[in-house]
């Protein structure tokens, strides 16, 4: 998952590397490390457990400088988050940072041990350092690039790697196989990183590497060899993305700020697309019209919260646009044979646009017969955006909290507009469209109303602090929202939570119900409410305390064993978007009271860039 930054320059680069790491911390934050070589050839090497700020403090403390080197912020896959396992890893004079997983690290490790190498870490990465060292020793006159060419075929897995020979520090070699890398071209200096945002303080002149590229980089030269072994030129792209260095303003946590930003984020996502009483997605261009006129089936592929957004969109596509749609977790889709029908469009959802499994699913879709791809994404210039045929951006603004909030609700808003756009081609009437449009326009105001009741939800949160489990129930399009609510609670408060479609209770989960199991129910006043009420009674009669989020005017009354949390009325179609918000608040307050690291919960990262 991790973030990589490297630089070859004629000035000190440690601050550039550290700023790059700060901007890449969304990719992992369990340890960080840096190795720089100064103009006299002296090697400075530091690693720290914890966030980039720990490393930055140590770099200042030890007054470390260097003109060439590399840095890494880790999300551990192999080996605990300890200093020994932090990157860079070194084998004598070979230094390596790595994003990804070396799947055959065990046999490689064993054979390198037989050849006399000692391992200092439990990581898969260390095998790369020793392997390059070994290959170097086999052919002493070879360049680092030639040596790495020999090492690469021995590695299995997905990776982006940066390698340096500390004795010849003016050369960095990089290789990418399944992980993103972008080069930043400077004047008399060059840079490389996992994401362009890390490079923007020093350059906007970029080269995006492609799968299998091998790069040799010095201050003045960049040579790229493609997968087929040919020296090639890749286009230089001027980045136009804005990096919003966000501070928390008056808020204590980014997640809190992002929850409260939702009315504005939704307005930004919606307003310019809702013109003259119509939903307008002209931004997609004429290519979209050709593609959409052929669409007969939709496959939505996503992970985490985006998967829940996809579940809601699946129902919308089938109900409103009359297009058969299924939704699948990207890591499942990519490893099974799926039937692709004629006119099958793939829609990928990812806030960051760098989710490894979703990207892999997109790449796979190009080989197996989908007619095209559309991405819904929040980050301009991300891999998903660059590689998809069509893109709809959410305008949520930078989302930093690991638990997605405004990223999720703006995704739903965009998906609903897309459903209307496609529905129109399938005969959706003007009155249905204008109902949806009005409902979307109302939504920011209604969400503001929900946010203004935050104190009630904060009080409610106290009931959960000493609970070990919680159950979320919903039906129809509230079922995915129940799943999203459960995910939020798990992610940031570490309370085990599950979501069930309320109709499924009697098929097993009812056995879990007792007084220690709070049950959260999403109960807007819709066609399923009567059915849901029966499910609620089934739970109530078994002793659980129920927390029911319901329309203000619904016929629920707080009672012994039942707490009603009234929510403003919205059109049924947009109620999944509205009902997500109080659940975000609930998990936020539970985590706050429990004193958890809300923005960077343990074991997680914002963008999941390993599979
Ligand atoms: N597999 C490597 C490790 O565990 C790299 C993980 C990452 O991409 O951060 O150290």
Index of the ligand 1 atom closest to the CA of residue 1: 8
CA of 28 to the centre of ligand 1 (A): 9
Question: Does the CB atom of residue 123 touch ligand 1 within 6 A?
Answer: yes
CA of 376 to the centre of ligand 1 (A): 27
Question: Does the CB atom of residue 99 touch ligand 1 within 6 A?
Answer: yes
Index of the ligand 1 atom closest to the CA of residue 102: 1
**Distance (Å, whole) CA 359 – CA 476:** 29
Question: Does the CB atom of residue 128 touch ligand 1 within 6 A?
Answer: no
- With the most atoms of ligand 1 within 8 angstroms of its CB, the residue from 30, 73, 79, 101 to mutate is 101
**What local confidence, expressed as pLDDT, does residue 23 receive?**
92
CA of 117 to the centre of ligand 1 (A): 20
Question: Do residues 83 and 594 lie in contact, with contact meaning Cβ atoms separated by under 8 Å?
Answer: no
- Residue 279: band (very low, low, confident or very high) from pLDDT cuts 50, 70, 90: very high
**What local confidence, expressed as pLDDT, does residue 536 receive?**
83
Catalytic residues: 2, 606
Index of the ligand 1 atom closest to the CA of residue 73: 9
CA of 426 to the centre of ligand 1 (A): 47
Locate the DSSP E strands across 502-608: 519-523, 546-551, 562-567
**What local confidence, expressed as pLDDT, does residue 140 receive?**
81
- 246 has a pLDDT exceeding 70: no
- Residues 103-130: pLDDT tens digits? 999 999 999 999 999 999 999 999 999 9
Question: Does the CB atom of residue 75 touch ligand 1 within 6 A?
Answer: yes
Question: Does the CB atom of residue 49 touch ligand 1 within 6 A?
Answer: no
Question: Does the CB atom of residue 179 touch ligand 1 within 6 A?
Answer: no
**What local confidence, expressed as pLDDT, does residue 208 receive?**
94
- Residues 73-95: pLDDT tens digits? 999 999 999 999 999 999 999 99
**Distance (Å, whole) CA 123 – CA 126:** 6
Least confident of 183-197, 345-359, 459-473, 505-519: 505-519
Those residues with Cβ within 8 angstroms of residue 134's Cβ, 6 or more apart along the chain or in another chain? 112, 115, 117
CA of 97 to the centre of ligand 1 (A): 9
**Distance (Å, whole) CA 43 – CA 487:** 44
Q: Are strands 237-238 and 274-275 parallel, antiparallel or unpaired?
A: unpaired
Index of the ligand 1 atom closest to the CA of residue 28: 9
**Distance (Å, whole) CA 115 – CA 461:** 58
Question: Does the CB atom of residue 101 touch ligand 1 within 6 A?
Answer: yes
Give, rounded to a whole angstrom, the gap between the first and last alpha carbons of the chain: 8
- 528 has a pLDDT exceeding 80: no
Q: Once rounded to an integer, what is the mean pLDDT over residues 149-153?
A: 95
**What local confidence, expressed as pLDDT, does residue 1 receive?**
63
Question: Does the CB atom of residue 1 touch ligand 1 within 6 A?
Answer: yes
CA of 72 to the centre of ligand 1 (A): 10
Index of the ligand 1 atom closest to the CA of residue 179: 8
- Residues 164-219: pLDDT tens digits? 999 999 999 999 997 889 999 999 999 999 999 899 999 999 999 998 999 999 99
- On average, the pLDDT of the chain sits at 94
**Distance (Å, whole) CA 133 – CA 117:** 10
CA of 335 to the centre of ligand 1 (A): 22
% of the chain beyond a pLDDT of 70:
98
**Distance (Å, whole) CA 382 – CA 398:** 13
Index of the ligand 1 atom closest to the CA of residue 100: 8
Question: Do residues 96 and 172 lie in contact, with contact meaning Cβ atoms separated by under 8 Å?
Answer: no
- With the most atoms of ligand 1 within 8 angstroms of its CB, the residue from 30, 52, 75 to mutate is 75
Question: Does the CB atom of residue 394 touch ligand 1 within 6 A?
Answer: no
Which string of DSSP letters, residue by residue, matches 172-190? EEEEEEBS--EEEE-SS-E
**What local confidence, expressed as pLDDT, does residue 454 receive?**
95
Question: Does the CB atom of residue 125 touch ligand 1 within 6 A?
Answer: yes
Question: Does the CB atom of residue 544 touch ligand 1 within 6 A?
Answer: no
Q: Once rounded to an integer, what is the mean pLDDT over residues 47-55?
A: 96
CA of 87 to the centre of ligand 1 (A): 8
**What local confidence, expressed as pLDDT, does residue 245 receive?**
64
Question: Does the CB atom of residue 134 touch ligand 1 within 6 A?
Answer: no
Least confident of 187-191, 297-301, 398-402, 455-459: 398-402
- Residues 549-572: pLDDT tens digits? 998 776 677 777 899 999 999 999
Give residue for tokens 């929202």: 481
- Residues 324-337: pLDDT tens digits? 999 999 999 999 99
């Amino acid at each position: 998952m991790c973030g990589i930054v490297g630089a070859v320059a004629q000035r000190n680069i440690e601050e550039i590397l550290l700023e790059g790491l700060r901007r890449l911390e969304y990719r992992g934050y369990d340890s960080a490390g840096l190795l720089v070589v100064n103009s006299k050839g002296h090697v400075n090497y530091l690693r720290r457990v914890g966030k980039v700020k720990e490393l930055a403090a140590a770099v200042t403390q030890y007054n470390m400088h260097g003109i060439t080197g590399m840095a890494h912020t880790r999300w551990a896959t192999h080996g605990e988050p300890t200093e020994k396992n932090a990157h860079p890893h070194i084998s004598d004079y070979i230094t390596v940072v790595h994003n990804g997983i070396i799947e055959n690290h065990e046999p490689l490790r064993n054979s390198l041990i037989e050849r006399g190498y000692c391992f200092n870490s439990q990581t898969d990465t260390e095998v790369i350092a020793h392997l390059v060292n070994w290959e170097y020793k086999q052919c002493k006159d070879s360049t680092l690039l030639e040596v790495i060419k020999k090492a690469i075929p021995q590695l299995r897995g997905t990776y982006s790697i940066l390698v340096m020979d500390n004795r010849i520090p003016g050369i960095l070699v990089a290789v990418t196989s399944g992980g993103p890398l972008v080069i930043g071209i400077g004047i008399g200096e060059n840079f490389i990183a996992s994401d362009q945002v890390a490079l923007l303080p020093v350059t906007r002149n970029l080269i995006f590497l492609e799968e299998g590229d091998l790069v040799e980089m010095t201050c003045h030269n960049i040579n790229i060899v493609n997968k087929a072994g040919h020296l090639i030129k890749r286009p230089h792209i001027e980045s136009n993305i804005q990096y919003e260095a966000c501070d928390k303003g008056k808020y204590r946590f980014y997640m809190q700020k992002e929850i409260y930003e939702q009315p504005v984020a939704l307005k930004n996502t919606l307003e310019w697309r809702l013109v003259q009483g119509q939903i307008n997605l002209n931004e997609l261009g004429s290519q979209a019209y050709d593609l959409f006129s052929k669409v007969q089936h939709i496959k939505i592929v996503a992970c985490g919260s985006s998967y829940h957004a996809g579940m809601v969109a699946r129902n919308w596509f089938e109900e409103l646009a009359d297009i058969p749609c299924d939704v699948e977790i990207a890591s499942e889709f990519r490893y099974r044979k799926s039937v692709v029908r004629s006119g099958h469009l793939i829609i990928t959802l990812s806030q960051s646009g760098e989710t490894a499994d979703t990207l892999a699913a997109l790449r796979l879709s190009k080989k197996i017969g989908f007619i095209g791809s559309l991405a819904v994404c929040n980050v301009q210039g991300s891999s998903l955006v660059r590689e998809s045929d069509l893109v709809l951006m959410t305008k949520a603004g930078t989302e930093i909290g690991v638990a997605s909030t405004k990223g999720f609700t703006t995704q739903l808003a965009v998906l609903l507009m897309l459903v209307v756009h496609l529905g129109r081609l399938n005969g959706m009437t003007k009155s249905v469209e204008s109902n949806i449009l009005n409902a979307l326009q109302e939504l920011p105001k209604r969400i503001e109303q929900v946010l203004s009741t935050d104190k009630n939800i904060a009080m409610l949160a106290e009931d959960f602090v000493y609970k070990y489990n919680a159950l979320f129930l919903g039906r129809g399009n509230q079922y995915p929202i129940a799943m999203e609510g459960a995910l939020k609670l798990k992610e940031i408060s570490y309370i085990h939570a599950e979501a069930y479609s309320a109709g499924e209770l009697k098929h097993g989960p009812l056995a879990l119900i007792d007084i220690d199991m709070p049950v959260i129910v999403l109960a807007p006043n819709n066609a399923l409410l009567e059915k849901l009420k029966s499910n609620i009674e089934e739970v109530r009669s078994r002793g659980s305390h129920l927390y029911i989020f319901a329309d203000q005017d619904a016929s629920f009354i707080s009672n012994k064993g039942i707490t009603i949390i009234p929510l403003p009325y919205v059109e049924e179609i947009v109620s999944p978007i509205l009902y997500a918000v109080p659940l975000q608040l609930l998990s936020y307050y539970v985590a706050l009271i429990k004193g958890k690291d809300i923005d960077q919960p343990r074991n997680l990262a914002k963008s999941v860039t390993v599979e």
